[in-house]
Amino acid sequence: MDSIAVRGNGPLYGDISVSGAKNSAIKLMAATILTDQPVRLTNMPRLADTKFLGQLLRQFGVTVTESDGPDGQQTLFDAKDITSTFAPYDLVRQMRASFNVLGPLLARTGHAKVSLPGGCTIGARPVDLHLDALSRLGAVIELEEGYVSAVAPKGLKGAEIEFPFVSVGATEHTLMAAVLAEGTTVLRRAAREPEIGDLVRCLTAMGAKIEGVDTDTLTITGVTSLKGTDWAVIADRIEMGSYACAAAMAGGEVRLTKAAPGLIASLMDPMVEAGVEVTPTDDGVIVKRDPAVRLKAVNVATEVYPGFATDLQAQFMALM
């Protein structure tokens, strides 16, 4: 598609159900490798990334079954038998976050061979924080022809790891590997995004022992195995914020549902300052603006969570 033609039709009114967050769903999908019992994820987004990761999980022997349930779209994952621990470049290159299967495979089976997201071009998608953390947990890692080969024949061991800077991917990846490691792992300067909190809570429901959820220090006490669970994927805060900005631009009144108001707290404050009415509800927010009233100029600065999200900068700029 070369272009999208949009014809304005006045203010916006209605209810919108916010979809499940892709950035949470794909990490929860990777976490299903950690147990030999079924895991059902509800509120699942149907996107290219989740499709590609589903194909990769099938490569390992995981049964992936999509369906429509009473709570919307859902997917059942059954990793009872891991028949392969090889993730080829042709699959990993289609979705960079699929590299995060390395840690769960290593924790579950003791070995894995996963393509670097950029193939032989390691600089195309730096993963040094991921590999360093897995090494600290006792993995022996070799890089060869665009692949990471990792082994932990005696299992992973707990360690204290302080990231040099906040990294969402490295935090999630190390967390998934550490839940089955022997002993205690402490992650310092951990990322605090809601998607990480969703992963922590799901792993806890599966039997993991994790303290410090929603803080920058996570303490993981390793367990010998995890169980299956049913888990609803957290709402997509970027989708939620995009719809909120659209309602503020066009005027009218839009109710966003199936999403916690706190997910867009950093957006709500500058919107209110600009003259938009934002009212939290039990399952979302109501965004309201009289289109005849001109908005006020507001300054924002993007920051790591819980600051203003970089992925909402473009939408807010258009609103301004």
**Active site members:** 120
Handedness of CA 286, 291, 292, 294 (dihedral sign): positive
- Nearest-CA neighbor of 29 among 106, 104, 139, 125? 104
Tokens of 135: 């090494």
Is residue 150 within 8 Å of residue 139, measured between CB atoms?
A: yes
Is residue 95 within 8 Å of residue 49, measured between CB atoms?
A: yes
Q: What are the C-alpha distances in Å from 73 to residues 127, 260, 310? A: 32, 19, 28
Is residue 197 within 8 Å of residue 263, measured between CB atoms?
A: no
Secondary structure class of 317 (helix, strand, coil): helix
- Nearest-CA neighbor of 264 among 7, 18, 11, 14? 18
Looking at beta carbons, which pairs linking 201-208 to residues 24 or more positions away fall under 8 Å?
202/28, 202/31, 202/229, 202/231, 203/31, 203/34, 203/175, 203/176, 203/179, 205/229, 205/231, 206/31, 206/34, 206/35, 206/39, 208/179
User: In sequence order, what are the residues at sequence separation of 6 or more whose Cβ sits closer than 8 angstroms to the Cβ of residue 24?
Assistant: 194, 195, 198, 199, 233, 234
